[in-house]
Structure 1
Amino acid sequence: MASDQKFVDFVADQVKNAGEVTTRKMFGEYAIFSDKKIFGLICDNKLFIKPTQAGRAFIKDVVEAPPYPGAKNSFLIEDKLEDSEWLSELVRITLKELPEPKPKKKKK
């Protein structure tokens, strides 16, 4: 089951205090970015955040699951979706540990 745009918009709005948040439809689901860094996926109307050490310490009682079959586990965020401040802080913490995006190669 693919995620619906209403849920994607809700999640993006919940993390609006974590930089310039954008979403992109990919493979029938959505990637979610802040300041051009991908920090999570939205699959089957569920939010998955890339795992980091600081994110794990912030969440404390982590629930992990793969966003799609064959994927590595990510943090599954369900109980705190309504808490915009908490979710934005998690995203800010996560972004600090993620590498900068690789520069795009120019087409010749």
Structure 2
Amino acid sequence: MATDPSFIEHALDQSGLAGRLTARKMFGEYGFHLDGKFVAMACDNSFFIKATPALARHGLDLPMRPPYPGAKDYPVADELLDAPEQLRGLLIDTAAELPPPKPKARKPRVES
């Protein structure tokens, strides 16, 4: 079952990070990027956040499960969609702990 676009809009709205948090379709589901860093994903209308030490600092013990068959377990943060301030803080702290995105490799120009 694919994630509904309305779920994505709800997650973006609840984050309160307009402009900084974006969602992009990835492999039939969605990935969330905060300031260019991949911080979360939505699969089957569930919100999965990257596991970082920020979870423990925020006192969160979220349930874990794979977002799709064959994936490793990720923290399921669905409950935070009803706690916007907590969600926003966790997303910001998660992004702060991740390395900057790698620059995309440029394709070589083909001269004709």
Question: Normalising by structure 2, what TM-score?
Answer: 0.88
- TM superposition shift of 1:15: 1.3
Give the 3 Å change call, closer, same or farther, for CA 25–63 of structure 1 in structure 2.
same
Whether the 8 Å CA contact 1:18–1:91 is kept in 2: the answer is: no
Q: Report the Cα distance in structure 1 between the residues aligned to 2:50 and 2:59, rounded to whole angstroms.
A: 13
Question: Runs of 5+ in structure 1 lacking a partner?
Answer: none
Match of 1:68 in 2: 68
Matches within 5 A, 1:20-99: 20-99=20-99
What count of residue pairs does the alignment treat as equivalent?
108
Shift of 1:19: 6.4
Residue 104 (structure 1) shift: 0.7
Tell me by how many angstroms 1:81 deviates: 1.0
DSSP-derived class of the 1:102 partner: coil
Tell me the amino acid that sits aligned with residue 8 of structure 1: I
Letter in 2 for 1:48: F
- Call closer, same or farther: CA 1:61–1:18 in 2, change over 3 Å: farther
| Residues 80, 87 of structure 2: 8 Å contact kept | yes
TM-aligned CA deviation for residue 84 of structure 1: 0.9
- Which runs of 5 or more residues in structure 2 are unaligned? none
Q: Distance in 2 between matches of 1:48 and 1:42?
A: 6
Distance, in Å, in 1 between the alignment partners of 2:49 and 2:2 is 18
Alpha-carbon separation, structure 2, partners of 1:19 and 1:51: 23
Verify the 8 A CA contact 2:55 2:61 in the aligned structure 1: no
Separation in structure 1 between the aligned mates of residue 23 and residue 17 of structure 2, nearest angstrom: 15
Larger radius of gyration: 2
% of aligned pairs identical? 44
